[in-house]
């Protein structure tokens, strides 16, 4: 423990200014330095050894002299007054403060916040800072969406959709909504012209004077509605043929909408709705629900009441079903999806016959269905009906041939994606797959 320095007496001279020597090589003051009461170094102040407190009295003027040291001048007499010397010793360097909590914690966060604000301002993402992103569309009620459409356009939507069994008025209304929001002010529209978005080439192919006013223009809503219906029905016909041939698979309306936004070639290449067409298909189907009031009085395509008695004859002698109509996991691809028909297991070469009178519209080898035959039966109870016969080992009819109920079409086989000999039998009503069993009187 350090002991305080004794009070100076006659034998212990009080240190004078000579002991305030500065040691530049260390940047500090010598061993006998000490701050005064006001944080400065004066001629009458000196510390006790080991930082002991300085005495709080001053000796009489001229009574003490400074002792000799090796680093100080020979002798210096204490001044007679308490006034500071002419050249006071330099002040010690101020001690640097360590960063406080604000600097360590708050300042970095504030810096990041300011930087983010600057970035967003430059990028134009802050309100009032420039062009903003289009806000998400607020869901609207069915009545509010229908109110966007002039009442005079509704009959034209129905007429345009009636050109083919796949379309519905609500689907056409949804397509126009997605394109223009039913804004008939052509000056407010950008890009393609009119509410249906036809460009010059598209209008040349599909546009006509639908309302009979002597002018064919995409800027006239009635002309545009009817042109869109013609375009969609043509696309539906193309994907129907592709699906009939087994090159594509899926819901006919979904395939039609995908062909509209990506082109029929992309749908055929993918064999289904291509990935880049999925968003548009989902968007239209969602919007169509808001316009379903336009479908009132129109039967939903392919979804009419099932027959209450047999309309079709059994296509095979066996009536055992190994895989019914409905959702299932495919035994080879392991993909879960709709099984679009029923499977009748039978021995290889078992005869397969026409379920009803009609015309063969397709008879060829396909990748998935193997040897496949499609018979068009025309209109049955107000619906367009076709039947299909797949995985045949042999075909005995050709495209364009007229057949009657019981005509031999081919033989049971296991061609295409098949696990064994069986007949895959389908019923297509207005372009949509139906459960075949009610049509066979076994519902």
pLDDT tens digits, residue range 36-45? 444 444 444 4
Higher-pLDDT residue of 172, 23? 172
> What confidence category does residue 332 fall into, taking pLDDT thresholds of 50, 70 and 90?
low
Q: What percent of the chain has pLDDT over 90?
A: 42
Least confident stretch, 180-189, 313-322, 382-391: 180-189
Inter-residue contact 229 to 163 (CB < 8 Å): yes
Least confident stretch, 52-61, 123-132, 187-196: 123-132
> What confidence category does residue 88 fall into, taking pLDDT thresholds of 50, 70 and 90?
low
Listed ranges 125-139, 183-197, 392-406; the one with the highest mean pLDDT: 392-406
Inter-residue contact 396 to 408 (CB < 8 Å): yes
Q: Is the pLDDT of residue 196 over 70?
A: yes
What is residue 72's predicted lDDT score, i.e. its pLDDT?
42
CA torsion, ordered 428, 429, 434, 439, to nearest 10 deg: -100
Q: Identify which of 297, 296, 299, 292 has the alpha carbon closest to the alpha carbon of residue 145.
A: 292
Q: What percent of the chain has pLDDT over 70?
A: 61
Inter-residue contact 342 to 434 (CB < 8 Å): no
Average pLDDT (213-218) is 89
Inter-residue contact 244 to 399 (CB < 8 Å): no
Least confident stretch, 57-71, 193-207, 302-316, 358-372: 57-71
Inter-residue contact 142 to 173 (CB < 8 Å): no
- Residue 388: strand, helix, or coil: strand
151 contacts: CB under 8 Å, gap ≥ 6: none
Q: pLDDT tens across 398-412, in order?
A: 999 999 999 999 999
Average pLDDT (17-24) is 45
Q: What is the DSSP letter of 52?
A: B
Least confident stretch, 96-110, 141-155, 225-239, 250-264: 96-110
Higher-pLDDT residue of 93, 246? 246
> What confidence category does residue 246 fall into, taking pLDDT thresholds of 50, 70 and 90?
confident
- The structure tokens 């006790």 sit at 48
Please provide the average confidence, as pLDDT, over all residues in the chain: 76
């Amino acid at each position: 423990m350090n002991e305080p320095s004794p009070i100076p007496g006659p034998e212990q001279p009080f240190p004078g200014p000579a002991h305030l020597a500065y040691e530049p090589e260390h940047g500090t003051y010598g061993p006998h330095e000490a701050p005064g009461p006001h944080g400065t170094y004066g001629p009458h102040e000196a510390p006790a050894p080991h930082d002991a407190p300085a005495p709080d009295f001053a000796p009489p003027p001229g009574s003490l002299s400074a002792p000799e040291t090796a680093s100080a001048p020979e002798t210096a007499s204490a001044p007679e007054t308490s006034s500071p010397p002419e050249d006071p010793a330099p002040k010690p360097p101020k001690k640097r403060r360590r960063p406080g909590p604000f600097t360590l914690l708050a300042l970095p966060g504030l810096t990041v916040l300011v930087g983010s604000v600057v970035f967003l301002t430059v990028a134009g993402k802050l309100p009032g800072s420039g062009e903003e992103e289009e806000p998400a569309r607020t869901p609207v009620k069915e009545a509010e969406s229908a109110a966007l459409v002039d009442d005079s356009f509704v009959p034209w939507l129905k007429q345009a959709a009636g050109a083919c069994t796949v379309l519905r008025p609500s689907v056409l209304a949804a397509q126009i909504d997605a394109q223009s929001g039913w804004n008939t002010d052509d000056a407010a529209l950008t890009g393609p012209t009119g509410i249906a978005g036809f460009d010059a080439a598209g209008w040349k192919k599909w546009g006509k004077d639908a309302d009979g006013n002597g002018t064919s223009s995409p800027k006239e809503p009635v002309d545009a509605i009817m042109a869109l219906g013609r375009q969609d029905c043509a696309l539906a016909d193309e994907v129907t043929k592709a699906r009939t041939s087994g090159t594509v698979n899926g819901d006919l309306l979904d395939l039609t909408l995908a062909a509209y936004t990506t082109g029929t070639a992309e749908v055929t290449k993918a064999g289904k709705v291509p990935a880049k067409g999925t968003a548009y298909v989902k968007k239209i189907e969602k919007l169509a629900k808001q316009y379903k009031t336009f479908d009132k009085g129109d039967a939903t395509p392919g979804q009419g009441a099932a027959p209450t008695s047999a309309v079709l004859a059994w296509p095979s002698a066996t009536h055992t079903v190994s895989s019914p109509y409905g959702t299932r996991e495919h035994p080879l691809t392991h993909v879960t999806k709709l099984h679009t028909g029923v499977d009748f297991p039978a021995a290889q070469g078992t005869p397969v016959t026409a379920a009803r009178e009609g015309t063969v519209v397709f008879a060829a080898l396909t990748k998935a269905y193997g040897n496949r035959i499609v018979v068009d039966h025309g209109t049955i109870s107000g619906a367009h009906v076709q039947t299909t016969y797949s995985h045949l080992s042999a075909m005995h009819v050709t495209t364009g041939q007229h057949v009657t109920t019981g005509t031999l079409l081919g033989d049971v086989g296991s061609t295409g994606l098949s696990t064994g000999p069986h007949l895959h039998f389908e019923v297509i009503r207005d372009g949509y797959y139906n459960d075949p069993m009610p049509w066979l009187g076994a519902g």
